[in-house]
Structure formats: C-alpha cells, structure tokens
Structure 1
Amino acid sequence: MIAKHLKILGFKCEDKVTELQGVATSVCFDLYGCIQVLIRPKVDEDGKLNNCYWIDIARLKVIGEAPVMEVPNFEHGPVAEGLQGPEDKPVPA
C-alpha cells in the first residue's frame, strides 16, 4: 500500500479545496495515521521560490500526465542503500 502512495511523487497535482497547484516532492506517513504530500508550487515570474505546503493525500488530484522528472528507486540501488544523497542533483526528465 505504501508504494501506491509514493507513485504521486513527481506529478503535478491540485488541491481539491484550495486549487493550489504544484509538483508532489515528498510523501509523509506520520504516527497519527495521516498521509501528506509536500506540494511545491511554480516559481514566480521574478524567479522567487514559493512556499511549499503539506496537504492530505485525499485532497489531491493528479493533473499531470507524467512525472516532471524521474523518481528515485527507493527499493534498490544507491538511493535505497543511502549512498546517494541530496547533494547529487537529479536530472530533469
């Protein structure tokens, strides 16, 4: 079931309540049973990063047809083994 929720990573999403749009960059499973997704909105016209927002996964709908970049393999390989960290920039798809 966890893999099902991780499949949202990299997709453009929209919050059904606020209509906020952005890319799903993280998924969080917390101790209280909430599954939330971190949404990163687009960069402003002047190049400034917007705030990211944690939103319950049930409130999100996927609006992109494909991930904006390749999602790391969390089960096998260097990321799963803790050998590739955030200092290694991913390549956009």
Structure 2
Amino acid sequence: MKQSDPQLKIRMPLELKEKIEAGARQNNRSVTSEVVALLSDECPIILGVEYIDRITGFRGIATGFCTYISGCNQALLSPPVSPDGALRDAAWFDAQRLEQTGGFPPIKLDNGATPGCDKPAPIR
C-alpha cells in the first residue's frame, strides 16, 4: 500500500479492534494490511443463493460454508423437497465446482433472536 491510498476512519467495538490487532500480530502484518486482507478474502459462495454442482448436476440453496486451512472450501447445498413433500439430504461440495444458477432470488433470514445450526459441519 502507498501513503497516497485513501484513508478511512471508523468506530468499532473494542473486542473487534483487539481481535484485528491479534490477527495482525499472528500474521506478521500491520493492522491496515490485516483489515485489507480480511475484507479482500471474500467468500466465493453467497449463502441463500441457488447453485449447481458442475460435476454431478446436484442443485440446491447454499445454506452453509466451511473454510479449511488447506484451502479446500466447501458449501452445503440444500435441495428442494421431493415431489411428495419429503425433505432431501443436503450435501457438501467443493466451492470451485459450484456455479450460481440465478434460478431463485437470494434467501435472507433474520436469526437475531434464535440463531442456530440445523446441520453439523462436514467431517474430514
């Protein structure tokens, strides 16, 4: 980064500031570089959007995302119910194999009062 790059002054909770500073120390970089790295590290999968697996053709809504230290990130796709109304099992896929379908508008949920998970993370 150059000194001439734009600057931004923001307010944040002390706990978040300390977390960013700890990450910067752990990664041997400045706080600015840590924030830029965190913001640039966008999740390739948008939760609530429909995807199709390019290899199997499996379709579903991305309801989970898991980042591994190895870089093999996976998304949990939840398919629609079967014609008889039965729930189908969701499945984990490598993010690089997935393509957005544009078939449905993104789903957004407000879990502020009742956060929680309905499916465990994958086991390697």
TM-score (norm 2): 0.53
Q: Which has the higher helix share?
A: 2
Aligned residues: 77
Paired residues for 1:1-93 under 5 Å? 1-6=40-45, 8-64=46-102, 66-67=105-106, 69-70=107-108, 84-86=114-116
Structure 1, unpaired ranges of 5+? 73-77, 88-93
Secondary structure of the corresponding residue to residue 93 of structure 2:
strand
**Structure number with bigger Rg:** 2
The structure whose RCO (Cα within 8 Å, separation 6+) is larger is 1
> Cα deviations across residues 21-64 of structure 1 (Å, max 9, x unaligned)?
11000000023221100000110111111111100000000002
Greater than 6 Å deviation, 4+ residue runs: none
CA displacement at 1:3 relative to structure 2? 2.9
Q: Which has the higher strand share?
A: 1
% identical equivalent positions:
31
TM-score (norm 1): 0.69
Match of 1:45, as an amino acid? P
Structure 1 residues 12 and 25, CA gap change in structure 2 (3 angstroms): same
Measured in 1, the distance between the counterparts of 2:59 and 2:96 equals 15
Secondary structure of the corresponding residue to residue 77 of structure 2:
strand
CA displacement at 1:5 relative to structure 2? 2.3
